[in-house]
Amino acid sequence: MPKPTPFHARIQPLCESYDWSIWAGQYAVRAFDVCHEREYNAFRQATGVIDVSPLFKYDIRGPDAAQYLSWITVRDLSTLKVGRSTYLCWTDEQGKVIDDGTCSRIAEGHYRLTAAAPMHHWFTDNARGYTVTIEDVSERYAALAIQGPTSRDVLRSISRDIDVDGMRFFGVQEGMLAGIPAVVTRTGYTGDLGYELWVEQHHALTVWDALFESGDRFGIHPAGLNALDVCRIEAGFLMMGVDYTGAFDALIESQKSTPDELGLGWMVKLERSPFIGQSALRYERKSGPSVSTVGLEIDWVALEELYGRHGLPAALPATAWRDSVPLYKSSRQVGRATSGSWSPILKKNLALARVDSRHSKLGTCLDIEVTVEWARATVPARVVKTPFYDPPQKKAVDSNV
């Protein structure tokens, strides 16, 4: 049976829809209401709060922590300063991505790594020769993401000693939240201003209550996975298990991906100390990836016309979709769209896709399969830049932005 998260006592009565999902063996809300729209709008215009406790969390400590992390992940973490966090991925020896997450340097010799899948075994196996301790703190820490343009005000209202206004994008601070010791990172999965709060699980409810009490005037609202999914697509963020298959889950070689194939090449500096997958990635870098991950904008007018031919108004699923759909160029299949969503804020029909690199240039027009009344057809979809939605407050320090 799934387990409750540390926030369950508060979340369960709010989940009037009974729309639960299971995330890493724990109860997670899909939508609190019959429709996630209110929650989506909280993320985009006020503050949405989502329980991200099911994330796997690992504390890495010791004198070799930086070298060790630089060995197991593609990023050189020797330059990550105390009080900073970074997004990264790690690969196997063949340079195929296993998982992605964030790594925060909380203090000198103390890092925290998040992962979508359990990694303790792999992290430990690869720690040989390094003076580090690896602690699985997944159950010890509860985590909440508070995301949206007013999240800075919400956070400021429950913290005294955290320099909320001075905290930069991907900043990390330790301090007290509602009298509870916590780690705050300016990170998230919505592509907007936002923070993640990490507290010991027995303090979870205290922090939740304080947040909702003082956040009320800033439009705070609990949110579920459905709303998050729309936001993460607008932000162009990939999801392991949806937009790519982690190397440990792949059954065949072609299901695996390298960082370059996922558009994460920017985080891989090849000319540095050795790391797992380095030589394979060096080899790939020479020829370039054969597959690329791109953003697509699906032509709305054409979609309306297609539905119109059946006498129907254009209809879209109410939630983001994640069952892959073929993509064509001149009737030849050149890839697949892996997930997508109607963007309420952009009024655009968006998708993330894996395509043959020859057809990945910005502006390229592909055809995406659409099924209307059980009949297959295609409509044009253009390769566009991601993030699709990138509000200025995401990275801004000035609270007036």
Pair 85, 96: CB distance under 8 Å: no
Is the Cβ of residue 250 or residue 318 nearer to another protein in the bound state?
A: 318
Instruction: Read off φ and ψ for residue 57, nearest 5 degrees.
Output: -130, 135
Helix (H, G, I), strand (E, B) or coil at 92: coil
**Is residue 347 part of the contact set for another protein (CB under 8 A)?**
yes
**Is residue 348 part of the contact set for another protein (CB under 8 A)?**
yes
To another protein, the closest distance from the beta carbon of 195 in angstroms equals: 17
Distance CA 80, CA 67 (A): 11
Q: Name the region of 170 (left: φ>0; alpha: ψ -120 to 50; beta: rest).
A: left
Distance CA 55, CA 143 (A): 8
Is the Cβ of residue 4 or residue 392 nearer to another protein in the bound state?
A: 392
Is the Cβ of residue 292 or residue 319 nearer to another protein in the bound state?
A: 319
Q: Given the rule CB under 8 A, which of 106-114, 125-133, 181-189, 216-224 is the region that contacts another protein?
A: 216-224
Spell out the SS3 assignment of 171-216: EEEEEEECCEEEEEECCCCCCCCEEEEEEEHHHHHHHHHHHHHHHH
To another protein, the closest distance from the beta carbon of 326 in angstroms equals: 23
To another protein, the closest distance from the beta carbon of 300 in angstroms equals: 7
Q: Given the rule CB under 8 A, which of 69-77, 110-118, 212-220, 373-381 is the region that contacts another protein?
A: 212-220
Q: Is the peptide bond before 317 cis (omega within 30 degrees of 0)?
A: no
Among 7, 198, 244, 389, binds another protein (CB under 8 A): 389
- Give the Cβ contact number of residue 223 at 10 Å: 29
What residues from 259 to 318 belong to the interface with another protein (CB under 8 A)? 300-301, 313-314, 316, 318
**Is residue 45 part of the contact set for another protein (CB under 8 A)?**
yes
To another protein, the closest distance from the beta carbon of 85 in angstroms equals: 27
Query: C-alpha distances in angstroms, 343 versus 229, 312, 318, 322?
Result: 11, 21, 11, 15
To another protein, the closest distance from the beta carbon of 231 in angstroms equals: 13
Distance CA 378, CA 311 (A): 17
What residues from 15 to 44 belong to the interface with another protein (CB under 8 A)? 33-35, 37-38, 41, 44
Q: At what angle do helices 225-234 and 37-45 cross, to 10 degrees?
A: 50
Among 2, 109, 118, 219, binds another protein (CB under 8 A): 219
To another protein, the closest distance from the beta carbon of 313 in angstroms equals: 5
Pair 69, 110: CB distance under 8 Å: no
Beta-strand pair 56-61/47-51? unpaired
To another protein, the closest distance from the beta carbon of 33 in angstroms equals: 8
Q: Given the rule CB under 8 A, which of 241-249, 325-333, 343-351, 377-385 is the region that contacts another protein?
A: 343-351
Among 123, 218, 237, 275, binds another protein (CB under 8 A): 218
What residues from 84 to 123 belong to the interface with another protein (CB under 8 A)? none
To another protein, the closest distance from the beta carbon of 155 in angstroms equals: 14
Distance CA 396, CA 193 (A): 8
Q: Given the rule CB under 8 A, which of 73-81, 104-112, 342-350, 365-373 is the region that contacts another protein?
A: 342-350
* Total number of residues that touch another protein (CB under 8 A): 29
Q: How far is CA 20 from the centre of its chain?
A: 20
**Is residue 153 part of the contact set for another protein (CB under 8 A)?**
yes
Distance CA 31, CA 284 (A): 41
To another protein, the closest distance from the beta carbon of 390 in angstroms equals: 8
**Is residue 64 part of the contact set for another protein (CB under 8 A)?**
no
- Residue 347, both tokens: 């009024």
Instruction: Read off φ and ψ for residue 140, nearest 5 degrees.
Output: -75, -35
Among 82, 345, 396, 397, binds another protein (CB under 8 A): 345
Among 4, 129, 241, 344, binds another protein (CB under 8 A): 344
**Strand order through the sheet with 133-136:** 84-91, 97-107, 110-115, 56-61, 133-136
Is the Cβ of residue 45 or residue 364 nearer to another protein in the bound state?
A: 45
Binding site for another protein (CB under 8 A): 33-35, 37-38, 41, 44-46, 149-150, 153, 217-219, 300-301, 313-314, 316, 318, 342, 344-348, 389-390
